[in-house]
Amino acid sequence: MAGRKVLIVYAHQEPKSLNGSLKRVAVEELSKQGCSVTVSDLYAMQFEPRATRNDIVGCLHNPEEFNYGVETWEAYKRGDLSNDLIEEQKKVQEADLMIFQFPLYWFSMPAIMKGWMDRVLVQGFAHDFPKCYDSGLLKNKLALFSFTTGGSREMYAKGGISGDIRYLLWPIQHGIMHFCGVKVLAPHICFAPEYVSEEKRKEMLIAWAQRLKTLWKEEPINCSPEWYFK
């Protein structure tokens, strides 16, 4: 939709990978629709995933005992977060939709992307209890997790050896995005691309492009435990 702003947070080391191609397809298709698309390419940016004292500029609120959550909350209120965090928070603030593109690592997102979540979504900016879940501070935004897996669809089905893929989405979709008030669209999953033909990988890219054409008409999932564990 023309005028909409999209932030793609992308975590893959190789531009020629399927994740790289999925990111490229999203940029092309959404740009065609008149959206303004920004990409945070975390590996290319050499994004720092570690939450440290370096995230606070100037004096600490309590120099006697470092508490990262308290210190970043206080620094956010003072405007004293590090420049890289301020830049990413601006991107989030401006975005109508955030797409997270990554390969599934150990049933979760890569460390560099988890570090982005840890450092960018600080208290005061993304949540501020009791302003969380449906009243989270990012409640007017959408998010979509697009990722690839090493295992097959059957492995991640109910009764499969890896368990229902929805179980794995609970901490990242519900525990992070929904906690911050973000409405979550159904995930886009490319199962086991390394073990299928080149033709099948092309079909995966076409399917993603097709979904993006009507993405703005989609309704968010019902962010409740029932969606994940029913």
Give the position of tokens 């947070």. 9
Q: What secondary structure letter does DSSP report for 174? A: I
pLDDT computed for residue 2 by the predictor: 72
Check whether 227 has a pLDDT greater than 90. no
Check whether 199 has a pLDDT greater than 80. yes
Distances (CA, A) of 209 to 10, 108, 229: 17, 24, 29
Cis? peptide before 130, omega within 30° of 0:
yes
- Tens of pLDDT along 129-157? 999 999 999 999 999 999 999 999 999 99
Are the C-beta atoms of 113 and 100 separated by less than 8 Å?
A: yes
pLDDT computed for residue 226 by the predictor: 87
Are the C-beta atoms of 93 and 106 separated by less than 8 Å?
A: no
Percent of the chain scoring above 90 in pLDDT: 95
Retrieve residue 30's tokens: 């959404």
- Tens of pLDDT along 108-134? 999 999 999 999 999 999 999 999 999
Q: pTM for the complete prediction?
A: 0.96
Distances (CA, A) of 208 to 21, 25, 74, 92: 10, 8, 41, 23
DSSP SS3 for 37? strand
pLDDT computed for residue 163 by the predictor: 92
The domain defined by 5-229 carries CATH number 3.40.50.360 = yes
